Each structure stands twice: as structure tokens, then as C-alpha cells.
Amino acid sequence: DAGVIQSPRHEVTEMGQEVTLRCKPISGHDYLFWYRQTMMRGLELLIYFNNNVPIDDSGMPEDRFSAKMPNASFSTLKIQPSEPRDSAVYFCASTLRGTADTQYFGPGTRLTVL
Amino acid sequence: GQSLEQPSEVTAVEGAIVQINCTYQTSGFYGLSWYQQHDGGAPTFLSYNALDGLEETGRFSSFLSRSDSYGYLLLQELQMKDSASYFCAVGRADKLIFGTGTRLQVFP
């Protein structure tokens, strides 16, 4: 298996623009997680899905952030409009079962909002 | 609330043994995990303690004591490639809550 796939790997955009991050989880994994990592706040869970259904979005910063999982092999995280404080590395992770199982992280998307 | 505290930085020399501690204030969690992250890379799973005690995986061992709200990661025979950040995480309600991370620097 290729592991968790994320695209793009790097994104540079201007404030106010829409940003869409994409993730393909490992085939057969039931859980998908979106994280944000910054020096100041560390690794934060934004939202996670179980069987394509959003379970907990309490970590989503504000209404500018939205996430979808239309099928078992694809998820998106959208920021609209983007702001400089959204600059971070965004990771997607998947796991077969719940937290007792290993989470497999994608390579991340480094987002820079100018 | 839920919080996990780790030392921000640890330094050691090649061949040495280093222990990275993790103290937590949370309850009802499934277990304690450890992840490694190299600069510019993604977190990767190292170990998991479902029960109290020591788990050994090669040069790495992890320990959990629920009564003391404490765990640690032990790295033996340190190598330069072990220079990375290490995160403890507790599992709760299908999600992981990560600690603040410890940056380990290994010197020759």
C-alpha cells in the first residue's frame, strides 16, 4: 500500500483565497483524521471521520474551515477565506480502528498564506 | 481538562540512553502511544502501552503507570538518526490527544 497520500505537498497562497487540501487514506481504514501543526500550538486535531461520517469537529478553528469525506478513499479540508494565521502544516492520518490502533500519517501539506 | 506535558528538549550523545517523560492529566483513556517526527517529516508510530508496565521494541521501550499518571519512552544505544521530536499521546473516544513534544538532539 502507498500509505496515506496528501496533496498538494506545498501551497502558497494570498490572504483571502480559497485553499483545498486533499487526502487519500489507506485502503480499508475506517477512520480519517485531519491535524494542524504549528510551533506555537503543536499538533492539533481538527476533525475526524468514521466510515465517512464526521464524528468530532470540535477542533475546527472557525467557520472558515470545512471538511468533507464523500467516499472511503477521499477527503478534503477547505479554508475559505484563508488568513496568514492559517499558515501551518496540515496532516491527514488514517487508522483501521479506534485510538488503540496505530495512526498512519500522510506526508503533510505545508500551507503558507501571505 | 486534558493535558500532557513533556520536556521541551533533551540532548544526549551517541550510544547513550535517554528517557523522555510524559505526565498527563486526563482520565478514561485507552492507552499511551509514542510517535517520532523528524524535521520536515510526518509523525510515525513507535509504541503503545495499553496496560501498566514496560513494552519493549528493539532499542525503544515505553512505560506506563496509570496510578502515577506518568509514562516514559526509553531510547537505548542512541544513534544520530534518533535526533527527532517525540510525542506522547493518549487515546480517548476514538481520537488521540498529543503532548507538547520533546526535541531530542543526539551529538557524536
A61-99 confidence digits (pLDDT tens): 889 999 999 999 999 999 999 999 999 999 999 998 876
A-chain residue closest to B95, CA distance: A99
Model confidence at B42, pLDDT cuts 50, 70, 90, reads: very high
Distances (CA, A) of A113 to A10, A48, A100, B61: 11, 24, 35, 40
* Rounded Cα distance, A109 and A21, in Å: 7
Distances (CA, A) of B80 to A4, A74, B56, B102: 27, 37, 20, 16
Mean pLDDT of A37-47: 92
Whether the per-residue pLDDT at B76 is higher than 70: the answer is yes
Lookup result for grid cell 466510515: A51
| pLDDT over threshold 70, residue B2 | no
The three grid cell numbers given for residue A26, joined into one nine-digit string: 489507506
* B19 CB burial (10 A radius; 0-12, 13-18, 19+): middle
Burial status of residue A93 (CB atoms within 10 A of its CB: 0-12, 13-18, 19 or more):
buried
| Mean per-residue pLDDT, B2-12 | 91
Whether chain A has a CB inside 8 Å of the CB on B7: the answer is: no
pLDDT value, residue A99: 66
pLDDT, residue B28, reads: 72
CB atoms within 10 A of CB B39: 8
Residue B95 contacts A where some CB pair is shorter than 8 Å: yes
Confidence bin at B54 (pLDDT 50/70/90): very high
Q: What is the pLDDT of residue B1?
A: 54
Q: CA A32, CA B108: separation in Å to the nearest integer?
A: 39
Distance between CA atoms of A91 and A44, rounded to whole angstroms?
A: 10
Enumerate the residues of chain B whose CB falls inside 8 A of the CB of residue A88: none
Average pLDDT over residues B64-71: 91
CA dist., res. B58 & res. B75, Å (int): 9
Q: DSSP letter string over A14-51?
A: -TT--EEEEEEPPTT--EEEEEEEETTTEEEEEEEEET
Helix or strand run (H / E) with residue A88: strand A88-95
Q: Which amino acid is at B73?
A: L
A/B interface, count of CB pairs below 8 Å:
57
pLDDT of A61 reads 87
Grid look-up 488503540 returns: A100
Per-residue CA distances from A11 to A89, A99, B3, B28, B53 (Å): 10, 30, 31, 39, 43
Angle at A34 between CA B57 and CA A44, to 5 degrees: 75
Taking residues A12-16, what's their average pLDDT? 97
Percent of chain A with pLDDT over 70: 97
Stretch 37-76 of chain B: residues touching chain A, C-beta under 8 Å: 41-45, 48, 50
In this predicted structure, what is the pLDDT of residue B77? 97
Q: Give the residue-averaged pLDDT of B50-68.
A: 92
* B96 touching A (Cβ < 8 Å): yes
Give the model's confidence band at A51: pLDDT under 50 very low, under 70 low, under 90 confident, else very high. Answer: very high
Q: What is the mean pLDDT of residues A104-110?
A: 97
Tell me the average pLDDT of chain B: 92
Average pLDDT over residues A39-67: 93
Quick one: pLDDT band at residue B30, thresholds 50, 70, 90? Answer: confident
pLDDT at A62: 85
- Please state the rounded mean pLDDT for residues A33-52: 94
The per-residue pLDDT for B82 is 97
